[in-house]
Chains A and B, each alone.
Chain A
Amino acid sequence: ETGVTQTPRHLVMGMTNKKSLKCEQHLGHNAMYWYKQSAKKPLELMFVYNFKEQTENNSVPSRFSPECPNSSHLFLHLHTLQPEDSALYLCASSQGAGNEKLFFGSGTQLSVL
């Protein structure tokens, strides 16, 4: 295992629901990331946190709300999503935000009905 754990593995939600994705890393890293993976499209960087501070928000719609309470935990709060938001959401961590060796979790497969 990579040391990055994501829960749940699968999530089905309606457009009016509110849900949260959780990511936890046991590697002592200081930077954490959310990526969106859709079939046949480049991995899309969503958010970057370095030492619990958000350093990048890649023009993500406000229906996605990240939270990083400490360097080991990262959440992605979801509300009023659209069907096109269905994708695999990957969390990653690295030693620092300038260290490119990322360690990825297995992802949460999200389906929005």
Chain B
Amino acid sequence: AQSVAQPEDQVNVAEGNPLTVKCTYSVSGNPYLFWYVQYPNRGLQFLLKYITGDNLVKGSYGFEAEFNKSQTSFHLKKPSALVSDSALYFCAVRDMGKGTGYALNFGKGTSLLVTP
């Protein structure tokens, strides 16, 4: 079985400060890992993904995420938060092990609130 855990329901950060949104995963094979963002009244939008290669992945809107195999984590980061980054963030995983199907499994989401 494949799953992701987002331990924080909400993350609060002041504008200009660095932000981190946490995600850990559990898979039987190699993971494909993703971050998506959901703005109010909208569907989810792709931010970035890790498939293989460099553990630090850069994505849209200045976000990046670091794959850590030993800690089974894929935390989302941004050096300087903007008020417009306030949204719901979802981590997702696909297990590349045999017979695990195609679709992504998503976490429950973390609400990011950036205050001026």
Question: Is the A/B pair a real complex?
Answer: yes
Interface residues in chain A, defined as those with a beta carbon under 8 Å from any beta carbon in chain B? 2, 4, 6, 31, 33, 35, 40-43, 45, 48, 50, 55-56, 90, 92, 97-98, 100-107
CB distance from B87 to the nearest CB of A (A): 13
Report whether B103 and A42 are in contact in the complex, using a CB–CB cutoff of 8 Å: no
Residues of B in contact, count (CB < 8 Å) = 24
Residues of A within 8 A of B94 (CB): 100
Q: 18 A-B Cβ contacts within 8 A?
A: A6-B43, A33-B103, A35-B106, A42-B4, A42-B105, A42-B107, A42-B109, A43-B106, A43-B107, A45-B103, A90-B44, A101-B49, A102-B104, A103-B46, A104-B36, A104-B44, A105-B43, A107-B43
Q: In the docked arrangement, what's the CA distance between A50 and B43, Å?
A: 21
8 Å CB interface, B94-116 against A: 94, 101-109
Given A41-B108, A43-B90, verify A2-B103 contact (CB < 8 Å): no
**Contact A56 B43, beta carbon cutoff 8 Å:** no
Q: A33 CA to B68 CA in the complex, in Å?
A: 29
- Bound CA span A31–B102, Å: 10
A98 and B108 within 8 A (CB): no
Q: Which of B32, B46, B105, B109 contacts A45 (CB 8 A)?
A: B105
Please, how many angstroms separate the alpha-carbon atoms of A95 and B41 in the complex? Answer: 24
Question: Are A50 and B41 in contact (CB-based, < 8 A)?
Answer: no
The contact string, 1 if C-beta is below 8 Å from chain A, for chain B 5-46, is 000010000000000000000000000101010000111111
User: In the complex, A2→B103 CA distance in Å?
Assistant: 19
Query: Which chain A residues lie closer than 8 Å to B101 at the CB level?
Result: 48, 55-56
Query: When the two chains form their complex, are residues A50 and B42 in contact, meaning their CB atoms are under 8 A apart?
Result: no
Name which residue of chain B comes closest to A104, CB basis: B43
Pairs of residues from A and B, 5 with the lowest C-beta to C-beta distance, nearest first: A104-B43, A43-B106, A97-B102, A104-B44, A42-B108
Question: Cα distance A102–B42 when bound, in Å?
Answer: 14
Q: How far is the CB of A23 from chain B (nearest CB, A)?
A: 11
> In angstroms, how far is the closest chain B Cβ from the Cβ of A109?
9
CA distance A107 to B38 in the complex (A): 11
